[in-house]
Chains A and B, each alone.
Chain A
Amino acid sequence: MDIAVKEKPYWNPYIAGFFLGLVLLASFLLLGWGLGASGAGSRFGAWLSYLVVPDHTLGLASWSSYFEGGAAPLKDSIVFGAVGVFLGGLIGALTAGRYKVSVGRGPRISVPARFALALLGGTMMGFAARLGRGCTSGQALSGGAELALGSWVFMFAVFGGAYAFAWFVRRQWL
């Protein structure tokens, strides 16, 4: 479903960052909190788990609060935010002529191996985002702008963990 638009260049990173910062600031001003993403994944997991094993799900301490007082875990602002990120990404890709069904990988890795690493890395991040109370959006970006101490620790730890691990997965990318 390629759209016949000539691919536009990316924005200059400083301009893109300025725009992203304005979006974050708008979230602070309108809602009183920053951006988020991983929480939506967690809520989706809780919702799925509830479909399969409802009683067990309600007994999981880190998920039970999503259901408190008969609440629906997916009717939460962070889920709407995540849907928005998808829509915004789609609008961006279509208008820039960059929508293309493909697999992003380096020249030295097979498609199944890339899928396996994507799932593994996603699982690591899902776990880590619960432990660290957020991901690069909710902690590093939003908490960083709020000057939250733990968010800055988190941000440096993310860079540290990624640089330390980059060597092991270099065949995936280079």
Chain B
Amino acid sequence: MSGSLFPLYTSGAFGDEIVLFIQLLVGIGFGFALERSGFARSENLVSIFYGRDFRVMRVMFTAILTAMAGLVMLSGAGLMDMGLLYLNETFLWAQLVGGLVLGAGFVVSGYCPGTSLAGAASGRIDALFVIAGVPLGSWIYAELYPLLGAFANSASMGTASLPSWLGAPVWVVAVGVFLFAGGAFLAVGRIERWVRRRFVGTEVPAPGPAPIRINPLKSATHHLLFAAGLIGVVVLGAAYSARTVPADWGRYVGPDEHEHEGKVLPPLGAIELARILVEGSQEIAIIDIREGSKEASVPGSIFVSAGDLTERAAAHELPHVDAYVLVSGDGERVRELAPSLAAHGLYATWLDGGTRAWKKAILSPPRTPEGGVTKDQVALYEERASIHAYFTDAKTAPLKVKASPVLKVAPKKRKGGGCS
């Protein structure tokens, strides 16, 4: 999968400051598109819920088709690494209830959070009240989280996607979405005509802009775009499906399996942990639970007390990585803590012998093998010397570490983006 051009940021093309600037530009494009769609005005947004004008659905589904087709085609052409894209995680019940409440809030307020910004920008004073409500609601959620957290995190399915859930290739699902959206476009046109006929001659005005009349030439463009997207998705989607692991496009974890998904991995010796760190081959978090002295800590450790650890795991506040390595002074206390992390669906292991072993094996120079040693012993010595040099800046031997897969873990999870 390496060698893909996109996504640029998560593959390391630029730094954090540039991201903020690009995000600003993307936001401007988003806001402009919302305004040109008519979504800065609440009457254009809510008229869908009274059957008058379905432009919300037309714009939204067309945008989804466009971006989806783009992802399928670019990943099919090998230009996009889906493994690096931030994929939304599924928490089934929270998203079902959250969606219902958000939908109700949408029709009550007349905007959704994104469109309220465009609404306020176009001079709508009521949109300012919607904007004020969003932080208020977030605050209520934060205060009630102790009561809601268990529900909010229930039925967690990881980065489950429609293809991984259905067990179907990405292109098949994408074609299904095209057909579903196309059917919906035809259906809502009929609904609009039917609703408008009912109001002819009555005093109830039909809100929203005039019915859409698309001239035949423009509508030919739509059909052409639709067909091109469909063909591109089939051809390049099939190419994508033929040569990549299905997990690249989300990984389905059943809701009941989740509790068992976490695992206590075999403990790591100091050398094994050092190898992982030197190679940088695994995304791990090293969690040091010592509360007093931080002496001889493993580089890159984060310090979380044993008391806070499970609470933070339950609240999804630990860094998103493949596996967690617990570290204590002697490696005893963490042996008991690892299963409680696994119970929260995480891969957990610990440093055998704790920082004491780390100090002895890594921070002190290895003993030189004496007469009559085998080739293997020499190789081991050289490796230990280079590891020692790496972690102490002793600069004795050139770094030479053999690749050895130590941890068998789930596919990589990425840093959050999107709405979270």
Contact = CB atoms under 8 A, between A and B. Distances in A.
Interface string A139-174: 111111111111111111111111111100110111
Given A114-B126, A161-B102, A147 B173 contact: yes
Nearest to B136: A123
Nearest to A65: B317
A14 B65 CA distance: 11
Given A89-B35, A122-B136, A169 B162 contact: no
The DSSP consensus for interface residues of chain B is helix
B32 interface: yes
A99 B25 CA distance: 21
Contacts of A107: 205
A129 to B, nearest CB: 6
B30 A81 contact: yes
A123 to B, nearest CB: 4
Interface residues of B, number: 147
Contacts of A65: 317
A161 B37 contact: no
A162 B49 contact: yes
A70 to B, nearest CB: 13
A41 B174 CA distance: 32
B137 interface: yes
A169 B27 contact: no
Contacts of A163: 49, 103
A120 B133 contact: yes
B218 to A, nearest CB: 6
B182 to A, nearest CB: 11
Contacts of B19: 31, 77
Contacts of B65: 17, 21
Contacts of B6: 28-30
B28 A136 contact: no
Interface stretch (B144-152, B276-284, B327-335, B351-359): B144-152
Interface in B45-91: 46-47, 49-50, 55, 58-68, 70-71, 74, 80, 84-91
B36 A37 contact: no
A34 B26 CA distance: 10
Nearest to B97: A131
A137 B414 contact: no
Interface in A94-125: 96, 98-107, 114-125
Given A16-B36, A153-B96, A140 B90 contact: no
A17 B36 contact: no
B136 A25 contact: no
Given A32-B10, A39-B419, A161-B99, A17 B60 contact: yes
B148 A131 contact: yes
Contact of A133 (B44, B89, B111): B89
Q: How large is the interface on A (under 10, 10 to 19, 20 to 34, 35 or more residues)?
A: 35 or more
Contact of A20 (B30, B117, B146, B165): B30
Contacts of A29: 6-8, 70, 74, 80
Interface stretch (B153-161, B266-274, B362-370): B153-161
Contact of B137 (A24, A26, A82, A128): A128
Nearest to B102: A128
Interface string B225-264: 1000000000000000000000001101000000000000
A16 B214 CA distance: 13
A5 interface: no
B125 A103 contact: yes
Given A125-B137, A138-B88, A165-B107, A88 B31 contact: yes
Interface of B: 6-11, 19-38, 40-44, 46-47, 49-50, 55, 58-68, 70-71, 74, 80, 84-92, 94-127, 129-143, 145-146, 148-149, 152, 157, 159-165, 170, 173-174, 177, 204-205, 207, 209, 212, 214, 218, 222, 225, 249-250, 252, 311, 315, 317, 414, 416-420
11 contacts: A10-B44, A96-B35, A106-B43, A118-B111, A125-B130, A134-B419, A148-B87, A148-B90, A149-B92, A157-B97, A162-B104
| 7 nearest A-B pairs in the assembled complex, by CB-CB distance | A84-B27, A122-B133, A132-B98, A138-B419, A126-B137, A121-B109, A21-B66
Interface of A: 10-39, 41-42, 44-46, 48-49, 60-65, 68, 75, 77-78, 80-93, 96, 98-107, 114-166, 169-170, 172-174
